[in-house]
Amino acid sequence: MAEQTESKSRNLLRRLKDTLAEDTAGQARLDQVVGLIASSMQTEVCSIYLFRDAETLELCATEGLNPEAVHQTRMKLGEGLVGRAARDGRVVNEADAPNARGFRYMPETGEEVFPSFCGVPITRLGDKLGVLVVQSREARAFSEDEVYALEVVAMVLAEMTELGAFVGEGEALRARHTNPMLFRGGVGQEGVAEGHVWLHEPRVVVTNPVADDPVAETERLRNAIDQLRVSVDDMLKSVGQDPIDKEQREVLEAFRMFANSRSWLKRMEEDIAAGLSAEAAVEKEQSAARARLGESSDAYLRERLQDLDDLSNRLLRILTGQGNDTGAGRPENAILVARNIGPGELLDYGRGELKGIVLEQGSVGSHAAIVARAWAVPLIVHAGGQITSEALNGDHIMVDGDQGIVHLRPDETVVSAFRDKIAMQAKAQERYAGLRELPAESKDGCKIELHMNAGLIAELPSMESSGAEGVGLFRTELQFLARNSVPKRSELAAIYSRVLDAAGGRRVVFRTLDIGSDKVLPYMKREDEPNPALGWRAIRVGLDKVGVMRMQLQALIRAANGRPLTVMFPFVAQFEEFKAARQHLLDEIERERKLGHVLPEKVEIGTMLETPSIAFAPRQFFEMADFISIGGNDLKQFFFAADRENERVRRRYDTLNVSFLTFIAQIVRRCDETNTPVSFCGEDAGRPIEAMCFAAMGLRSLSMRPASVGPVKHLIRRVDLGEARKVIDRACNSGVQSVRGDVMEWLRGEAQ
């Protein structure tokens, strides 16, 4: 870029900086800005459109168009050339705008005499704020240098919009981060919570987007990048040399490649030469990378974008001195808000410190969800609308984990209704506490065993308070997920021993390592699989990486130390897999015997039934298994071919669907034929209506989160399961798709 163009750009930004520094009201400042840009760019028109809401753009200031159109002209996202620039996040540069694709004529503006059009998105780290537009009477396309200058100006406008520089009395110019907002996402963990936002990674605020001395800014940038490179090198030095650490090293090498990218540095230096500060140049390139790669369907490119995002944030924190610890105290009743979070980082917050968790990414089966369930705090995943950009530390927030809804800065009407819901749930829990010592026995004398799911030692005290009779599922992967390297056998043995101690003699079912799909170890190379849920995971990983499986089985045997041991293998799809895994455990017991170690008093070896295929295994499978646990979460998604992460399809299929209940009854019947104990484990086991129907279909053991034990026990004690089975059978024979309607009608009659 020519020095003359750079000087012109710097001159424009300097004048902008002076204008923004004046003590002027928001609208007046906007009016000055459009006049200044039109003059500097030598165009007859300059306009700024800002978002009124997530879908509507409004003309907020103009030089050259009819001033009466300001705050009157609006368009939807994607509508017209302005809406197209906002929707696509790309520059729209047209020499003959009226004949361009998607042109929308707005007669109130008087723009018909200005055929040339250049619209530049005003964005900040993927957050769409508006569009900067210039137009002229001369029918021409704007040059690359002119477009670049406008992109630089748009970057400054984005920062100033974020800082509230254009806030005024006009309705469209209200301060950001003040309006009530609603976000919808997926339910990772049910429950409701009210509190205040605590950002996992507080946003870096760039208060100096314009700089007068490009030489000094370039020097600052280079020094910061040197620090960044040293920190990446230090991370590499901390990695060990074993095979799994080698895979982690490869990831960090890719990280270092970005940090040493000459093209990345060159682009930022060009931005500084045009008049931006070092911080603003980093953010401009970060926003540009998000626009280029964010919509890519290529998983590799999306991962590289995440790498670049991470590096950019680290670089911004070095430049601004704004670390994760901003000095702000954690608010009362903190609700964590993050783009995503690893298990180790989440566990660092500690149980009892958080009232809820809201993630822009994540998944219902992720390690974050596992920890949230362990802590019994509501979790929302895939919260749309970029909540991390909208939320500020300390903002009032309400999380409805039952509906997958987040209310940020809610108004009084929402607050009142939400608090009523919390009060009702609290009263219900008090009622369930009185059932703690009573059995889950139906009116017709059927006793149902209710067990709890767990993954952390800290959860075990919930066994007493909930009335659970044991641990039907202890997830062992958290001890692997929360570390940066493979845990030692002695460490695992100590953890498992403490779990058995905390259980106080009650049965604990240890599920062996269930990784893969969306649960990827931080020190294990992610496999690029088109469908990870159906790929290399759980028992498949264990049978391929026998060393890891053997180490975990040895730890379990030693933890038992003469006590009963119950081991369950996950995701078994065929008889041979169970036989192989079972033999590994028997071999390790024999090895421990030869070493003279204390053996378990007795050993139960079972499996989860999560794939339809294993339900049709030979009779010998059911005879060999000491017990079977139906893994409802995975089984349901495979049975209906509906990904439980996909909101568009998973809600189409009811757990009480006739086909699914018939399948459950078939599994129960096969287990009864061989006297194999069978239970149901999963989210549905903790939903009272579903749990009652499972019990009516013959299941006598259910495993759920501790908070669900009371509600499930309460309903089972109120009904006759024999009568419930008759209702279900009649509904099945009637040809309905789901028995839910008939069951609910019967229950309403029972309650009268």
Provide the pLDDT confidence category of residue 515 given band limits of 50, 70 and 90.
confident
Q: Which residues pair with 310 in a beta bridge?
A: none
Q: Does 11 have pLDDT greater than 80?
A: no
The pTM score is: 0.65
Gap between the Cα atoms of 238 and 485, Å rounded: 11
Together in a domain, 34 and 163: yes
**Domain boundary, last residue among 320, 336, 358:** 320
Together in a domain, 706 and 632: yes
Per-chain mean pLDDT for the chain: 84
Region 244-256: mean pLDDT is 60
Instruction: Give 362-371 pLDDT, tens digit per residue.
Output: 776 666 777 7
Gap between the Cα atoms of 517 and 54, Å rounded: 33
What pLDDT does residue 186 have? 83
CATH number at residue 386: 3.50.30.10
Region 414-434: mean pLDDT is 79
Instruction: Give 83-102 pLDDT, tens digit per residue.
Output: 999 998 889 999 999 888 88
What pLDDT does residue 553 have? 96
Together in a domain, 12 and 87: yes
Together in a domain, 23 and 109: yes
Comparing CA positions, the residue from 128, 312, 111 lying closest to residue 225 is: 312
Task: Say if 497 falls within a structural domain.
Answer: no
What pLDDT does residue 171 have? 46
Q: Does 322 have pLDDT greater than 80?
A: no
Provide the pLDDT confidence category of residue 419 given band limits of 50, 70 and 90.
confident
Provide the pLDDT confidence category of residue 497 given band limits of 50, 70 and 90.
very high
CATH number at residue 300: 1.10.274.10
Instruction: Give 211-241 pLDDT, tens digit per residue.
Output: 878 899 899 999 988 888 887 777 677 655 5
Together in a domain, 258 and 121: no
Together in a domain, 13 and 145: yes
Split into its structural domains, the chain has a count of 4
Instruction: Give 638-658 pLDDT, tens digit per residue.
Output: 999 888 777 677 778 899 999
CATH number at residue 691: 3.20.20.60
What pLDDT does residue 343 have? 65
CATH number at residue 148: 3.30.450.40
511 Cβ contact list (under 8 Å, min separation 6):
473, 474, 475, 476, 568, 569, 570, 608
Q: Does 53 have pLDDT greater than 70?
A: yes
What pLDDT does residue 5 have? 47
Together in a domain, 315 and 336: no
Task: Say if 405 falls within a structural domain.
Answer: yes
Q: Pick the more confident residue, 316 or 5.
A: 316
Which domain covers residue 641, as residue numbers?
A: 434-464+628-675+677-752
Task: Say if 742 falls within a structural domain.
Answer: yes
Task: Say if 63 falls within a structural domain.
Answer: yes
**Domain boundary, last residue among 425, 445, 473:** 425
Together in a domain, 438 and 381: no
Together in a domain, 15 and 146: yes
Gap between the Cα atoms of 232 and 663, Å rounded: 53
| Residue 482, token pair as written in the block | 């929360």
Task: Say if 108 falls within a structural domain.
Answer: yes
Task: Say if 567 falls within a structural domain.
Answer: no
What pLDDT does residue 725 have? 95
Are 643 and 637 in contact by the 8 Å Cβ rule? The answer is yes
Q: Pick the more confident residue, 123 or 374.
A: 123
Annotated catalytic sites, by residue?
A: 367, 681
Together in a domain, 301 and 357: no
Task: Say if 536 falls within a structural domain.
Answer: no
Together in a domain, 654 and 689: yes
Provide the pLDDT confidence category of residue 545 given band limits of 50, 70 and 90.
confident
Provide the pLDDT confidence category of residue 10 given band limits of 50, 70 and 90.
confident
**Domain boundary, last residue among 368, 394, 425:** 425
Q: How many C-beta neighbours within 10 Å does residue 423 have? A: 10
Provide the pLDDT confidence category of residue 688 given band limits of 50, 70 and 90.
very high
Region 405-420: mean pLDDT is 85
Instruction: Give 569-592 pLDDT, tens digit per residue.
Output: 999 999 999 999 999 999 999 999
Q: To the nearest whole percent, how much of the chain has pLDDT over 70? A: 84
What pLDDT does residue 172 have? 46
- Coil/strand/helix, residue 633: helix
Region 15-43: mean pLDDT is 81
646 Cβ contact list (under 8 Å, min separation 6):
none
Task: Say if 397 falls within a structural domain.
Answer: yes
Comparing CA positions, the residue from 170, 487, 198 lying closest to residue 358 is: 198
Instruction: Give 608-631 pLDDT, tens digit per residue.
Output: 999 999 999 999 999 999 999 999
Supply the DSSP symbol for 515: -
Phi, psi of 358 (to 5 degrees): -130, 125
Together in a domain, 115 and 18: yes
Q: Pick the more confident residue, 272 or 255.
A: 272
Q: Does 299 have pLDDT greater than 60?
A: no
| Residue 638, token pair as written in the block | 């495979």
Q: What is the DSSP string of 328-394?
A: PPPPTTEEEEES---HHHHHHH-TTS-SEEEESS--TTSHHHHHHHHHT--EEES-TTTHHHH--TT
| Residue 520, token pair as written in the block | 């990827």
